Amino acid sequence: MKGAFAVRLATLPRLLALVSLLTLAALTMAEALHWGYEGETGPDNWGNLSPDYALCAEGSAQSPIDIRDASELDLVPVRFAYGQTANRVRNTGHGIQVDVEGDSHVIYNGIRYNLLQLHFHAPSEHTIDGQAAAMELHFVHLDPNSDMLAVVGILLEEGDSDNAAYAPVFNNLPDEADLTLGSDDDLDLATLLPEMRRYFTYQGSLTTPPCSEIVRWLLLDTPVRLSADQIAAYTALYANNARPVQPLGDRDLLRDSP
Ligand SMILES: [Zn+2]
């Protein structure tokens, strides 16, 4: 494959820098503890694996959720300012992730959230009226002033043809944990977004331990389509890295008016 290469530990300092950016000591600790998606270390038991994960069992604003009966309101748009980033695709052991460099960000309600990384789940974590999509993409952004996150979610569904915008990632999926693959071509982040950016929003959590309740969720309601082959390339590595839906409770679930 032209331009392809592998990096195992060379990216470590940059990754550590990203983690420290989060300034979440609990998150750093949590990464060292073993958790998964099935059996004794699966989502039903995350809250028992470590005191640091207590919110996974006891939280009241957890994610993902089933999206239904959203209240329509005239909400501000999510303003995307996405540029290019080096195409470095990392297998974290929990999924596939691209760590983002540069100043890509979103502005939401007057707050700038810097894009840190994007990663994938299969099947989707959020469901709409009980229906899961084939996959879900999460763009994780941080407001460094508040340490709050804004995560933009995009449902990925099967279409008829390869999605060229996603090919740089899906042609370079690393097949073992801690392996990073890439290509010389930069990844054009804006091309990963759907044209229509109407969204659902609610206040929730990380969908992985430690399940911190620090996330403004912005789930776009227009899916992006990938080919069956692209989806299969991902699910060959991670057929199930989705947390089940959690109760909405008394939280507001809003959808912006068309
Ligand atoms: Zn995620």
Least confident of 10-19, 183-192, 196-205, 238-247: 10-19
Tell me whether the omega of the peptide bond preceding residue 123 falls within 30 degrees of 0, making it cis: yes
Would you say the pTM of this structure is higher than 0.95? Answer: no
Name residue 204's amino acid. Answer: G
DSSP assignment string, 123-153: S-SSEETTEEPSEEEEEEEEETTTTEEEEEE
Ligand 1 centre to CA of 91 (Å) is 14
Per-residue pLDDT band at 12 (split at 50, 70, 90): very low
Least confident of 80-84, 175-179, 184-188: 184-188
The vertex-137 CA angle with 235 and 112, nearest 5°, equals 160
- Using a pLDDT cut of 90, give the percent of the chain over it: 84
Q: Which residue has the higher pLDDT, 244 or 4?
A: 244
Q: Which residue has the higher pLDDT, 106 or 30?
A: 106
User: Is 9 a residue whose pLDDT tops 90?
Assistant: no
Per-residue pLDDT band at 32 (split at 50, 70, 90): low
pLDDT of residue 258: 85
User: Is 113 a residue whose pLDDT tops 70?
Assistant: yes
Ligand 1 centre to CA of 137 (Å) is 7
Instruction: Give the largest Cα separation in the chain, rounded.
Output: 52
pLDDT of residue 10: 43
pLDDT of residue 24: 47
Cα-Cα-Cα-Cα dihedral sign, residues 15, 96, 142, 189: positive
Q: Which residue's structure tokens are 């990632």?
A: 169
pLDDT of residue 13: 46
Ligand 1 centre to CA of 43 (Å) is 14
pLDDT of residue 185: 84
Ligand 1 centre to CA of 99 (Å) is 13
Helices (H), the chain: 12-22, 25-31, 46-49, 54-58, 167-170, 228-235
pLDDT of residue 62: 98
Ligand 1 centre to CA of 216 (Å) is 13
Ligand 1 centre to CA of 153 (Å) is 8
User: Is 1 a residue whose pLDDT tops 90?
Assistant: no
pLDDT of residue 131: 98
Domains in the chain, start-ordered, CATH in brackets?
5-66+77-246 (3.10.200.10)
> What count of other Cβ atoms lies within 10 Å of the Cβ of residue 162?
16
Tell me whether the omega of the peptide bond preceding residue 144 falls within 30 degrees of 0, making it cis: no
Ligand 1 centre to CA of 235 (Å) is 15
User: Is 152 a residue whose pLDDT tops 60?
Assistant: yes
